[in-house]
Chains A and B, each alone.
Chain A
Amino acid sequence: MDWNTILQELGIDDTRRADFLDKYQDRIKEAILPLWDEFSNPAGEEKGDPADCRPEQEPAATVSEHREESAATVENTATVEKNNPNGKNMITGAGLPDDKAREKAKNEAFEAQIKGKYISFPNGKINREYTVPFDVETQLPDISEVEFIGLDRIGLQYDPETKQITGIPTQVGDHKIDMRCKRKDWTEGKPFIQKEITLYINADPKSLWKNIPTPADVEYYKPDSDKAFVKVESKQTKGFLGLGKKEMRRKDMIAASQRGRSHALEGKPRDDDFKLYFDEPAEWYVMAVADGAGSAKYSRKGSQIACQTVVEVCKAKLAEAGKVFEQQITEFQRNKSDENRKKTGDTLYGIIGTAAFQAKIEIEKEAAQKDSQGKMKAVKDFSSTLLIAICKKFDSGWFVGAFWVGDGGIGLYHQEPEFLKILGEPDGGEFAGQTRFITMPEVMQPKEIYRRLRFDVVDDFTALILMTDGVTDPKFETDANLNKIEKWHALWDDLKGKNEDNITVDFSDDSEQAADQLLKWLDFWSKGNHDDRTIAILF
Chain B
Amino acid sequence: MRRLPVYLLLDTSGSMRGEPIESVKVGLETMVATLRQDPFALESVWISIITFDREVKQIMPLTELENMQLPEIQTPESGPTHLGAALELLCRKVDAEVRMSTPEQKGDWMPLLFIMTDGKPSDLQKYNEMLPEIKKRHFGGIIACAAGAKSDVKPLGLLTDQVYSLDTTDSATFRQFFKWVSASVSTGNRSIGATDELLLPPPPPEVHTVI
- For the complex, what is the distance from the CA of A383 to the CA of B190, rounded to whole Å? 15
CA distance A58 to B103 in the complex (A): 43
Which residue of B40, B100, B110, B140 has the most chain A CB atoms within 10 A of its CB atom?
Answer: B40
Which residue of A265, A431, A477 contacts B109 across the interface (Cβ within 8 Å)? A431
Q: Is A203 an interface residue (CB 8 A)?
A: yes
Nearest CB of B to A493, in Å? 22
Question: Which of A123, A173, A380 is B195 in contact with, Cβ under 8 Å?
Answer: A380
Per-residue B-contact encoding for A184-210, CB less than 8 Å = 1, 0 else: 000000000000000010110110110
A57-B74, A203-B42, A428-B101 known; A295+B191 contact, CB < 8 A = yes
How many A-B residue pairs have C-beta atoms within 8 angstroms? Tell me: 125
* Stretch in A343-351, A394-402, A432-440, A457-465 with 4+ CB within 8 Å of B: A432-440
Q: Which residue of B lies closest to A261 (CB)?
A: B39
B79 to chain A, nearest CB (A): 15
- B114 CB, nearest partner CB in chain A, Å: 18
Q: Are the CB atoms of B195 and A528 closer together than 8 Å?
A: no
B138 located at the interface, meaning its Cβ lies under 8 Å from any Cβ of chain A in the complex: yes
Chain A residues, CB < 8 A from B199: 295
Asked whether A295 and B195 contact (CB < 8 A) given A430-B107, A530-B40, the answer is yes
Cross-chain contact of B2 among A57, A67, A528 (Cβ < 8 A): A528
Chain A min CB distance to B182 (Å) = 14
B93-104 vs A, CB cutoff 8 Å, 1 = contact: the mask equals 000000011111
Query: What sequence of 0s and 1s flags, for each residue 50-68 of chain A, a beta carbon within 8 Å of any chain B beta carbon?
Result: 0000001111000000011
Q: Contact: A299 with B194, CB < 8 Å?
A: yes
* A123, B66: Cβ atoms closer than 8 Å: yes
Tell me which residues from 449 to 473 in chain A have a Cβ below 8 Å from any Cβ of chain B: 473
Please report the total number of B residues contacting A with Cβ < 8 Å: 40
Chain A residues 245 to 281 lying within 8 A of chain B, measured CB to CB, are: 261-263, 265-266
Q: Tell me, yes or no, whether B189 is within 8 Å of chain A by CB.
A: yes
Interchain CB contact under 8 A, A431 and B110: yes
Q: Which of A77, A200, A478, A527 contacts B69 (CB 8 A)?
A: A200
Query: Which of B30-38, B116-124, B147-155 is found at the contact surface with chain A?
Result: B30-38
Chain B residues whose CB sits within 8 angstroms of the CB of A155 once the complex forms: none
Task: Kindly list chain B residues whose C-beta atoms are within 8 Å of the C-beta of A67.
Answer: 69
Query: Nearest A residue to B192 by beta-carbon distance?
Result: A433
Q: How far, in angstroms, from A13 to B44 measured CA to CA in the complex?
A: 46
Q: How far is the CB of B116 from chain A (nearest CB, A)?
A: 19
- Digit string of B73-114 for contact with A (CB within 8 Å is 1, else 0)? 010000000000000000000000000111111111110000
CB distance from B35 to the nearest CB of A (A): 11
Q: How many residues of A contact B (CB 8 A)?
A: 51
Interface assignment of A524: CB less than 8 Å from any CB of chain B: no
Contact with B along A144-180 (1 / 0, CB 8 A): 0000000000000000000000000000011000000
Once bound together, how far apart are the Cα atoms of A437 and B199, in whole Å? 19
CB distance from A262 to the nearest CB of B (A): 5
**Is B74 touching A58 in the complex (CB atoms < 8 A)?**
yes
A125 near B: Cβ within 8 Å?
Answer: yes
A-B contact pairs, 28 of them (CB 8 A): A57-B74, A67-B69, A123-B66, A123-B69, A125-B66, A200-B36, A202-B42, A203-B42, A206-B39, A208-B38, A208-B42, A261-B40, A265-B40, A293-B194, A295-B194, A296-B193, A296-B195, A299-B194, A431-B108, A431-B138, A432-B2, A432-B106, A432-B107, A433-B110, A433-B193, A477-B106, A528-B44, A530-B40
